[in-house]
Amino acid sequence: MLITYRILTILLWPWIFIFSLLIPGAKNFLKTRKEDKRRILSYPFAPKAQKVIWLHAASVGELDQCKALALVYKKKEPETFLLQSVFSDSVRDSSLEAFPADLKFRLPLDFPWSYDFILDKFSPQVLVCMAWDRWPNLLLAAKRRRIQTILASAVITPPKGFLKRKFYKAAFSLFDKILTSHSSGEEKFKELLGKNFIKTLGDSRFDSVIQKIETSQREFKRPKNYPFSPVFLLASTYEPCEKLLLPLLKEPSLKNTAFWIFPHKTDPARITQLESKIRSFTDDYTLYSHAEFDSISSRVILFDVLGILAHAYRAADFAYVGGALHNRVHNVLEPAYFGLPLLSGPRITHAPEAIELNHRGGLFIIRTKEEVLEILQLSSERREAIRFSNRQFVETGRGAAERIYEEIRR
């Protein structure tokens, strides 16, 4: 299976080159990696002069997992040189630049020859991937150099079909250690792989979320004399989310419920589009950037800036976390930290923390507005029980990054 994969990646290269000439997005994707290669090759580094750890994240969520582990290294081994790579373009350059590693870059496309210039220059002792990310050519290149390969905060959706299962087994078998985020993941990996080194140590993203909230100097409160209660916060919304939830603004039983909306994207075109949708249900709304927040009295507040969401949960009573009506759920740990009853679409199978919160009764799967209404009318006693349960769940994940660090050192 791995030989087939290697052959296919080689055959794909000419087509990818052609696409890069025709499609601007593909051209920029390759250009960024070409610039990173030049920067890496010119980086002043003495080979084998110090210990090197390479951390890799697929996207934003996995970068949070890497961040928690990187902070442990910076605390316990400040002399260790940290490489941090990401793959998805959803990771902003500013987020990557601010990451606590010595050298940050975009991962090359997974061809057999793609990583030699990195591995030859830095000779890392360990390669750590996060969650589910496995690039066979990268892992094979690392193993040829006897670099320890680890999948940390690991999760898996059991593969369906013979070929997919065979590929998963071949790819995940390339890891020397798989450190799962939850015991359910450990069972699934063992079922797939057998006797590989598989151990549950937790999800380091818990540490990133806790650290982000507890070290922040930002206080977030409702506007002074705000006339609405409760506050229903809609996080990381997409069009399917708004199609389901915005009609609730017309529900008589929710006339005193405020809606705070944080769309997944905040570019001007998206905000203009969302404003138009809101106006079709109510004129009682305010754009966050257009008013002094403490003086806002509107029932609907549309947040058109970044960096606020994690703190705004503190002032809410319920939280809907977007993505799972059409694709996959976003981060549920931040609102769970504040003990909020959570609402989500059904697509949560990739997120064991969302599954566990659902099993505990603190996250509700919704598909209809009637289901939403039922949750927003929970009794105060039920909400208090959920607050305690969700908060306790987040606490159980504290310290995962340090546990992963200790296992890597062994």
Among residues 35, 62, 251, 384, which one is catalytic? 62
Backbone angles phi, psi at 396, to 5 degrees: -65, -20
- 62 is known as an active-site residue: yes
Cis peptide before 230 (omega within 30 of 0): yes
- Those residues whose C-beta lies under 8 Å from the C-beta of residue 402, and which sit 6 or more positions away, are 72, 207
Which residue numbers are catalytic? 62
